[in-house]
Copies of this chain bind each other. A is one copy, B any other.
Amino acid sequence: MKLILDAFGGDHAPEEIVKGGILALEADPALKLVLTGKGETLTGLLSAADPGIRARTEVVDAPEVITNDESPTEAVRAKKNSSLVRAFERLKEDPEVGGLVSAGSTGAVLTAGLFKLGRIRGVNRPALAPLLPTLTGGQVALVDCGANVDCKPLNLCQFALMGGAYVKAYCGVKEPRVALLSNGTEDKKGNELNKEAFPLLKALPGIRFVGNMEARELLSGDFDVAVTDGFAGNICLKSYEGMAKAMMTLLKEEMLSSFKNKMGAMLLKGGFKKVAKRMDYASNGGALLVGLTKVVVKSHGSSKAVTISSSLLQAKKLAESGMVDEIAANLAAAAAE
């Protein structure tokens, strides 16, 4: 399986991105990588790797870089020689390549995904779908978490179908429990969008719709897919992130506040790290950009090597799983109803 890595996207590009690529190649001998970016720099960075690893890499020289400050549409149009645009072009053209990973600007990845790669037939709007670890040891996909800030009920239905196919393919959940993120659990709760979407989701073939869910139940383990418009989804995701950060900050303060607490903290250090790591969804891989004709994983902008490696292995698993075909089939079945 060959994947593409946008080696110049992300806060720690290109060093950490390339390191992450090498880590993934070391972890999976069946993986091959195409790295896009400044050719000389990449060749230099790759020279640190084992010759056996290097033999499974290819460098595509793309000297331009798209940054977070640029307008995504303009940048994707203007910077034809950027690491991101060249990555998407290769993804589209090369039948051997199954997927792409980028830690670059979310907006630019979305734009390039739409205009350089293209949507699965029947998909109106691709969506960003991160996987969050639940309290029962599973994962829940939050679809959409920011690609589409204004949605129609039809979009939410498609998010449900795509999210279902995603967790089926990636997490092995046979009948994903799909819920609608709302301001209460009762059927009649919700804003206008949700109220219109609710009966459509209920009638949708191919998913197991379990009704409305509250944001505080996201990690309960009772749901496999949480469907929402990208605005509310973004608020939800970042609120979870904000509270995790706040709790860790306060706990650290407490741990240093007395000798007794310092002793306790020393003993509990390992346990804390485990919890912090488990709740740090960003380091567990990337958010899938679901609805495109090939697998595209958007890794967190702050991704370091380990996260990039996770994102690559996630992309490989998804590319091999037949998820794209599953989504196409789900959408065709729903359209035929």
Residues of A participating in the B interface, judged by any CB pair closer than 8 Å: 135, 146, 149-150, 181, 183, 190-192, 194, 214-219, 228-232, 234-247, 249-251, 254-255, 257-258, 260-261, 263-268, 270-272, 274-275, 278-279
Kindly report which residue of chain B lies nearest to residue A217, judged by CB atoms. Answer: B242
Is there contact, CB below 8 Å, between A215 and B191? Answer: no
Given A240-B239, A264-B267, A268-B268, is A183 in contact with B230 using a C-beta cutoff of 8 Å? yes
> How close is A279's CB to chain B, nearest CB, in angstroms?
7
Q: Which B residues lie within 8 Å of A231 (CB)? A: 183, 190-191, 194, 232
Contact of A265 among B146, B232, B264 (CB under 8 A): B264
- Ordered by A's residue number, 8 sampled pairs between the chains whose C-beta atoms are within 8 Å are A135-B250, A215-B237, A216-B242, A251-B275, A254-B271, A261-B268, A264-B266, A265-B268
In contact, A250 and B235 (Cβ under 8 angstroms): no
Enumerate chain B residues within 8 angstroms of A271, measured Cβ to Cβ. Answer: 251, 254-255, 257-258, 261, 264
Bound-state Cα–Cα, A234 to B214, Å: 9
CB–CB B268/A255 < 8 A: yes
Give, as a whole number of angstroms, the nearest-CB distance from A275 to chain B: 5
Cα distance, A234 to B270, chains bound together (Å) = 34
CA of A241 to CA of B215, assembled, Å:
9
* Contact of A146 with B183 in the complex, beta carbons under 8 Å: yes
A280 to chain B, nearest CB (A): 12
CB contact under 8 A between A135 and B214, given known A239-B240, A254-B274? no
**Across-interface contacts of A183 in B (CB, < 8 A):** 146, 149, 230-231, 234-235, 238
Residue of B nearest to A230 (CB): B183
Q: How far is the CB of A137 from chain B (nearest CB, A)?
A: 11
A82 to chain B, nearest CB (A): 21
A214 vs B267: C-alpha distance when bound (angstroms):
35
Chain B neighbourhood of A263, CB < 8 A = 264, 267
Which 9 pairs of residues, A with B, have the shortest CB-CB distance?
A264-B267, A239-B239, A216-B242, A254-B271, A264-B268, A243-B243, A215-B238, A183-B234, A216-B238
Checking B146, B235, B241 against A232 with a beta-carbon cut-off of 8 angstroms, the contacting residue is B235
In the complex, which of the residues B135, B149, B267 contacts A246, with contact meaning CB atoms closer than 8 Å? B135
- Give chain B residues whose Cβ lies under 8 Å from the Cβ of A265: 264, 268
A298 to chain B, nearest CB (A): 15
